[in-house]
Every structure is written in structure tokens, then in C-alpha cells.
Chains A and B, each alone.
Chain A
């Protein structure tokens, strides 16, 4: 550590632009550790190790640790609960896959409705705005409970009474509202001159939207879209409320039978395993996008 001298900021030595991590084509580096040089890597590793060791030692030596270990980190309980939870997690996967597909379509419709120009379309714009306001404002679990318990109670012919069906409807309604706003931000981000250019080339307003605005807008919002989808995947656990035995409910059943919280840890692990690759994928998309734009700019 001696001889660090004047160049206190080890990460970005002046006059060496090739090492700046913000510049594309710069030396490949780990963004999490935020380090480019040998010494900084060691500092990063050492402080990480120290931090987590201290945290671990404090946790393990806390007065309640034996009880917590028994309740949350029971090996047998973990081994027994994980396969049961994973098998029920298939339902969550089904729910969020179907909901995601529906959300992609409906949200685009709502966003386009809301972006329609002209006074004739005022009612459509109003409807779309009211829809997003309402479903973004009501907690997801309430929408699920109201539809899941309310609709089957109507006992209407031809209306499905499956909990899974209403859960998917509820999640689609709520997330369509979120995603519509994401799409709208994308549409708004396309400069009006592009539409003007398209129109001057003889494209109609619909064609300008379809062939010029939407392709760029959708590409631009893919990272925030995936973000919302991760949210949707996690919210698929709310379906447990309706009595569907999915991942969370299976964990709760074991937890309540055995008075042990380890199944929650098992389930958390399952979620982490499916969401982390997606988060990394989003990171990669953002990085690629930035590289592309910077490459064009230079």
C-alpha cells in the first residue's frame, strides 16, 4: 500500500483513456468490483472478504442464531422442501409465461391508443389513461383477490372459474398498465421529425407508426420491459392467495406443518436462480445498446 503516492484515484489514471471503463473498447473489467488495476482488485477483494466475514461472524455469534439456524437453515428441511417447491413452481412458470405474452400485446395496444394524435381519438386516449391510472394504483394482490374470488362467485355460464385463469387475467391487467407506460415512454422518445420525414415520404400516419416509430421504440424499451417481467414473475407468487398450490403456497404448507421457515429459503433460491440470468441478460442488452450508440456517435 506504500508508494500509492499522488495517483490516489487508482481507477482512472489521467491520460490513459484506454483504461476508462466508460469508454467502449476499453480494457475489459469487472463493473461490480469497479477495479481495473491489480492493487484495486486486491483492495476490493480484501474489503469484500472482511465485510462478509465480519457480517457472518456477527450473525453466527448473535444470541438468537441457534434458533434462526434451526428455523431457517435446516438441512433436512431444505432437502425435503426443495423438490416439492420446484415441482409446484411449474405453475408459476406457466402463469407468468402466459401473462407475459398477453401483456406484450395488450400493453402495446394501450400505449398506441394513448399516443394517438387528433381530437377524434380523445375518448380512446381517455380510456387508456384511466385504465393505466386504475391498474397501476390498485395493489396487485387486491386485483387477484377481487377477480379470483369475485368472478367465480357470479356463477355465470361460459365464464371460466379456474383460479389459474383469473390469476392470469389479474396479473395481465396489472402489468399491462405498467408495460403500457414503458411502451409509451419509448414511443415518446422517438423524435417527431422522424414521423414528419416518414409522412413526407408518403407514408400514412398508421404506416409511420408501424414502420418507423414502433420498431425503434420497442427496441429502446426492451431493458425496462424485462425489468417489469421480472416483477411479474415474482408477483406470480401472489396467486397463492386464491388457493392455488404454486411455489409459495407449497413453501407455506411445509412451513406451517413443520413450524420451520427453511422452505422460504428454498423458494427464494428458486427465484434467484431464474431471475439472475435475466437480470444479467438485461445488463448485457443495455451494454450492447450503449456500445452501438457510442460507436455510431464516434
Chain B
């Protein structure tokens, strides 16, 4: 009898503990001031008031990020990676242009390094949005809210001298070539859906590891996004891939589902597009050489 009472008491205690925990996880549903511009910095529903917290990967690869490490930053710039705080590279510069357009000063932009999964894991986010070359897809939109696209992207194949991939011009010609791609990228989908290879592609945690195996000859080519292909990660840009399913692939910013920030960020992206900033950033930071043949 005593045992029974003790047991029930334990269960209730555990239950109470759980209930307490879940009640503290109420969503951040602050109400912005009803007066004035809803997109003014003071009216935005931000992670920390007056600061725009942006998440991206660490390392932050060129040409999307660049520049030298800012003292105290957790990003260590190397030959192929930069520091988002420097405001260099396409996304680095875009982040500060976007923040400025929304009314933030450069000091109000905070960066946080996350693994890719954290950009879409459910639950409270420790950032306002993720800017990490994330391709917008319908399926992904079930888990996060995307901003509108800020960059149109294609996929390309890079290889080193001596690779059997060099000289190939058709998708069919790639079928028997051992390709690799970083995980979570459209690059892998391109290999699977467009090439439909006979040799199983290798899938890596990040670009770095894929390039390691490319250098050691374990794979014959790596599929990356077009601007990355030109960044000297390998000897040759073999060719670019047609759009998956005929739809232009775009990078978007990823927000927590239902984030009220999306509209205001979209406004700012629109403004940057119409005043030519996006084009200017593109020509400043990315190789736009379109003479690379498209695989047929």
C-alpha cells in the first residue's frame, strides 16, 4: 500500500515537473506597438530587441562570405572561408545591406554560427533568420517560412585535372562517373534526378570533406552551386546543370514558422532588388561568367 502511494506520488511529481517545463516554453508573442510603421526597428518582433540576429554556417565559405576575422569573432577566416562580421562576400554584404535597408546600424547585426540542421529544427530559434544558401522548396516550406528568393542559383560540376568527368557535355555521359556533393544541398538532388548515376554518389557533411575526397581521387567530381564552382576549389568547371524540374532555383532566408518578420524582410529585399543593390552585389562578389556549357 505504502509502495503504491509512493509510486503514484512519484508519477505525479514527474508529471508536474514536465508540465512546469512545458509552460515556460510559451512562444515569443510580443505585441508590437500599434502606432507607426510596423517595420520600424522598434516595432519588429526580434529575438533580442534592437538587434538583428542572423545565423549562418561556420566555417562560412567563400564566395558567399569573405574578409578577415574580426577580433573576438568565432569565425576564423582561412583561404576558403571568411568571417560574416567583415560584411564581405555576397551573403555577408547582402546581410548588412538588408539590415541597413530595414533601419539597423551595422553594430546592431549579430551573427551566430549554426550547423545546417538548426536552421530548420522545430522549436524556438536562437536567431531571427538563417542566411546559408538555403534553396527554397515546397517541401521545406512546411517546416520553415522562407523570404522571397534573393539569389537565382544553378548547380555546376567541378573536377580536377585527370578526372574522367572533364570533357563530358551530356548528363548521360556523367552516369558512370563517381560524383560527390555536400549533404542538404540541391547538388545531390541534381545528381540523383538529372544524372541518375549508375555509380552511387558520395554524400559529405560539408564541402570541405567533399573536396578532401576530390583531391585524394576518391571521387571524380563534386557538384556545387555555380558561384562556388568558380571559386578555385578545383581545377576545372566542367559544366552546369539545367534547372531541376525546369524551375529556377532560388536561395531564401529561413525563418521560424509563422515569424512576423518575414513581411518586413521581404519589403527590404524588394527594395534592394529594385534599386539595383542585389545586381551590384552579384557582380561585385560572384563570378558571373555564363560561358560554361549546360549539360544536355
B49 at the interface (CB under 8 A from A): no
Q: Which residue of A lies closest to B15 (CB)?
A: A54
Which residues of chain B are within 8 angstroms of A261 by Cβ–Cβ distance?
121-122
Q: Mark A161-197, 1 if CB is under 8 A from B, else 0.
A: 1010000000000000000000000000000000000
Q: Known A47-B8, A51-B11, A245-B200; judge A8-B1 contact (CB<8 A).
A: yes
Indicate the member of B117, B144, B203 with the most A CB atoms within 10 Å: B203
Which residues of chain A are within 8 angstroms of B205 by Cβ–Cβ distance?
241
Contact B25 A54 (CB under 8 A): no
B151 at the interface (CB under 8 A from A): no
Contact with A257, one of B184, B200, B257 (Cβ below 8 angstroms): B184
- Selecting from A19-27, A149-157, A212-220, A275-283, the interface stretch reads A149-157
- Selecting from A65-73, A93-101, A103-111, the interface stretch reads A65-73
Q: Mark B22-52, 1 if CB is under 8 A from A, else 0.
A: 1001110000000000000000000000000
Q: Which residue of A lies closest to B116 (CB)?
A: A256
* Separation of A54 and B27 alpha carbons in the complex (Å): 23
Which residues of chain A are within 8 angstroms of B216 by Cβ–Cβ distance?
149, 152-153, 155, 161
Q: Which residue of A lies closest to B8 (CB)?
A: A47
- A window 35-89: CB within 8 A of B: 43, 47, 50-51, 54-55, 58, 61-64, 67-68, 70-72
* Separation of A261 and B120 alpha carbons in the complex (Å): 10
Q: Mark A1-30, 1 if CB is under 8 A from B, else 0.
A: 100100010000000000000000000000
Q: Which residue of A lies closest to B202 (CB)?
A: A243
Q: Which residue of A lies closest to B27 (CB)?
A: A63
Contact B139 A259 (CB under 8 A): yes
Contact A70 B122 (CB under 8 A): yes
Interface residues on A, range: 35 or more
Contact B215 A153 (CB under 8 A): yes
* Separation of A55 and B17 alpha carbons in the complex (Å): 11
B18 at the interface (CB under 8 A from A): yes
B259 at the interface (CB under 8 A from A): no
* Separation of A43 and B6 alpha carbons in the complex (Å): 12
A227 at the interface (CB under 8 A from B): no
Which residues of chain B are within 8 angstroms of A149 by Cβ–Cβ distance?
209, 212-213, 216
- Selecting from A123-131, A201-209, A247-255, A286-294, the interface stretch reads A247-255
Contact A55 B15 (CB under 8 A): yes
A interface SS class: helix
Q: Which residue of A lies closest to B140 (CB)?
A: A259
A230 at the interface (CB under 8 A from B): no
- B window 185-221: CB within 8 A of A: 185, 188-189, 200-205, 209-210, 212-213, 215-219
Which residues of chain A are within 8 angstroms of B219 by Cβ–Cβ distance?
243
Contact B183 A256 (CB under 8 A): yes
Indicate the member of A61, A64, A257, A261 with the most B CB atoms within 10 Å: A257
B289 to chain A, nearest CB (A): 29
A33 to chain B, nearest CB (A): 13
Contact B121 A152 (CB under 8 A): no
Contact with B22, one of A63, A243, A253 (Cβ below 8 angstroms): A63
* Separation of A61 and B4 alpha carbons in the complex (Å): 27
A258 at the interface (CB under 8 A from B): yes
* Separation of A51 and B257 alpha carbons in the complex (Å): 32
* Separation of A70 and B121 alpha carbons in the complex (Å): 11
* Separation of A63 and B139 alpha carbons in the complex (Å): 23
B98 to chain A, nearest CB (A): 22
A143 at the interface (CB under 8 A from B): no
* Separation of A244 and B202 alpha carbons in the complex (Å): 6
Q: Known A67-B122, A243-B204, A257-B184; judge A1-B26 contact (CB<8 A).
A: no
Contact with B121, one of A4, A61, A71, A243 (Cβ below 8 angstroms): A71
Q: Known A161-B216, A245-B200; judge A43-B123 contact (CB<8 A).
A: no
Q: Mark A112-143, 1 if CB is under 8 A from B, else 0.
A: 00000000000000000000000000000000
* Separation of A61 and B26 alpha carbons in the complex (Å): 12
* Separation of A25 and B287 alpha carbons in the complex (Å): 79
A260 at the interface (CB under 8 A from B): yes
Which residues of chain A are within 8 angstroms of B203 by Cβ–Cβ distance?
243, 245, 249, 252-253
Which residues of chain A are within 8 angstroms of B120 by Cβ–Cβ distance?
259
- B window 218-233: CB within 8 A of A: 218-219
Which residues of chain B are within 8 angstroms of A241 by Cβ–Cβ distance?
205, 209
Contact with A63, one of B25, B185, B202 (Cβ below 8 angstroms): B25
Which residues of chain B are within 8 angstroms of A70 by Cβ–Cβ distance?
122, 142-143
* Separation of A90 and B118 alpha carbons in the complex (Å): 29
Contact with A47, one of B11, B117, B140 (Cβ below 8 angstroms): B11
Q: Which residue of A lies closest to B217 (CB)?
A: A155
B161 to chain A, nearest CB (A): 15
Other 12 A-B pairs with CB < 8 A, given A152-B217, A252-B203: A43-B3, A51-B11, A55-B14, A58-B15, A58-B18, A61-B22, A63-B26, A68-B123, A71-B122, A256-B183, A261-B121, A261-B122
Query: 6 tightest A-B contacts by CB?
Result: A256-B184, A243-B202, A259-B143, A259-B120, A153-B216, A67-B122
